[in-house]
Amino acid sequence: MDTRQKLEILADAAKYDASCASSGSKQTRRGSQIGSTEGMGICHSYTPDGRCVSLLKILLTNYCIFDCTFCVNRVSSDTPRARFSVDEVVQLTLQFYKRNYIEGLFLSSGIIQNADYTMQQLTMVAKKLRSEHQYGGYIHLKTIPGCSDELIHEAGRWADRLSVNIELPTQNDLKQLAPEKDSTQIVTAMDTVKTRIDETKADKKQGFKAPSYAPAGQSTQLIVGATETPDATILQTVTSLYQDQRLRRVYYSAYSPIPHADARLPGMAPPLVREHRLYQADWLLRFYGFSADELFSPQQQNLPLDIDPKLAWTLANRDRFPVDINRADREMLLRIPGIGSRSVGRILQIRKHRSLSVADLKKLRVAWKRAAPFVITTDANPSLKLLDSLQLKQKTSTERQLSLFDAIDSARSGEV
């Protein structure tokens, strides 16, 4: 099998992985001849699914001894198999990088032989790129749960980011769909990475020249919609990942139909709107001071599909509005629908010099339609009277007035 055929199979096998970020590394490695990791990530292309191509995202091999139902590479799938050699991946990465096609490498793998062997192979690719080719671009390695700590330590020396996929939000879901995966092993692997990152930081603080260790931190991915687990449970798991494991990112991947799908799973289009709402909620957790509990009620354990989670929270907490743009504290400004954290920063800055009007807010490019009924400005804001109206939800929803049925349609078409 030639490299092109392998690439076809092993890129195809990686296309369900949502992660694509290439940012977050502190600086380019010293002595690099090819490649840098400065600034924010660059997306070199976009595919028709609207997702960016920033990294060469491939599997080292799609042979796998596991039988996770949702995965196209599970052992019981009849998907065509291939395996790259370490050198093939090294050469592909360098050749693509030199032509400025990619920002780096995201290497994952099916589990072959055992966890240690697989991890060794992944690490060898990164080590070769760094030490034999002075490659300074981004490298994201997927950590294989169950491999030894030494291998995780070695991997972090060469990689910018490590990730361990949690795949499913609860132990029960794992038992159901990924019987060979063990949530304790996954969390242990995350702990190992976290501890090592902390140690490196502490060493640097004390003035030691510690070799860099996964400078872009660690991330994970979980699959949404393959089981019945509601959003509330998912976001509770995620909250503890952010707090306890200090993950940089959690990626949500709508369970997507796969060729060679296991008959035990229903064939369906991926729940893209749900995935989108989870990303919005994730944002609220990380940058807007929301807690997972606030976004749900005992009756409502899933995020609404027809409106974004911030607006949904606002509608359920009308009594806390309207908010005076010129007086409210940062925490409350962050809770106004249609106003992002960057705009909040600007509002606070401008407020020191002069007070803000409706026109000013529009210039700051806030989503005025959503924000209007909830804010007091220096001038008259006729939309304020909507706050007590029964039609508040319809009036503040997106321009297209997404109804629940539209949401289902858009889940089908993929356009959010």
Interacting positions 346-365 with other proteins (CB under 8 A) = 346, 349-350, 352-354, 356, 359-360, 363-364
Q: Which two tokens stand for residue 70?
A: 């949702």
**Is residue 262 at the binding interface for other proteins, with CB under 8 A as the rule?**
yes
Which of 141, 197, 214, 258 is the binder for other proteins (CB under 8 A)?
A: 258
Per this entry, what is the length of the chain? Answer: 416
**Is residue 15 at the binding interface for other proteins, with CB under 8 A as the rule?**
yes
**Is residue 179 at the binding interface for other proteins, with CB under 8 A as the rule?**
no
Q: Which residue has the tokens 């799973």?
A: 265
The interface with other proteins within residues 321-350 (CB under 8 A) comprises 346, 349-350
Which of 4, 30, 385, 400 is the binder for other proteins (CB under 8 A)?
A: 4
Stretches 96-104, 143-151, 330-338, 366-374: which one binds other proteins (CB under 8 A)? 96-104
Stretches 28-36, 189-197, 230-238, 390-398: which one binds other proteins (CB under 8 A)? 28-36
**Is residue 286 at the binding interface for other proteins, with CB under 8 A as the rule?**
no
Separation in Å, CA 356 to CA 195, 230, 360, 363, 378:
46, 41, 6, 11, 6
**Pairing mode, strands 55-59 and 104-108:** parallel
Q: Which residue has the tokens 């969390």?
A: 187
Q: Which is nearer to other proteins, 34 or 187 (CB)?
A: 34
Q: Which is nearer to other proteins, 112 or 387 (CB)?
A: 112
Which of 100, 206, 299, 391 is the binder for other proteins (CB under 8 A)?
A: 100
Alpha-carbon span 272 to 265, nearest angstrom? 17
The interface with other proteins within residues 117-146 (CB under 8 A) comprises 134
The interface with other proteins within residues 61-90 (CB under 8 A) comprises 65-67, 75-78
Binding-residue pattern over the window 36 to 55 for other proteins, x denoting contact by CB under 8 A: x-x---xxxxxxxxxxxx--
Burial call 348-379: b when 16+ CB within 10 Å, e when fewer = eeeeeeeebbbebbeebebbeebbbbbbbbee
In whole angstroms, how close is the CB of 30 to other proteins at the nearest point? 12
Burial call 89-121: b when 16+ CB within 10 Å, e when fewer = bbbbbbebbeeeebbbbbbbbbbbeebeebbbb
Residue 34: beta bridge partners?
135
Residue 135: beta bridge partners?
34
Strand ranges for 95-148 from DSSP E: 104-108, 138-142
Q: Which is nearer to other proteins, 292 or 356 (CB)?
A: 356
Alpha-carbon span 145 to 386, nearest angstrom? 53
**Is residue 263 at the binding interface for other proteins, with CB under 8 A as the rule?**
yes
Stretches 150-158, 218-226, 268-276, 328-336: which one binds other proteins (CB under 8 A)? 268-276
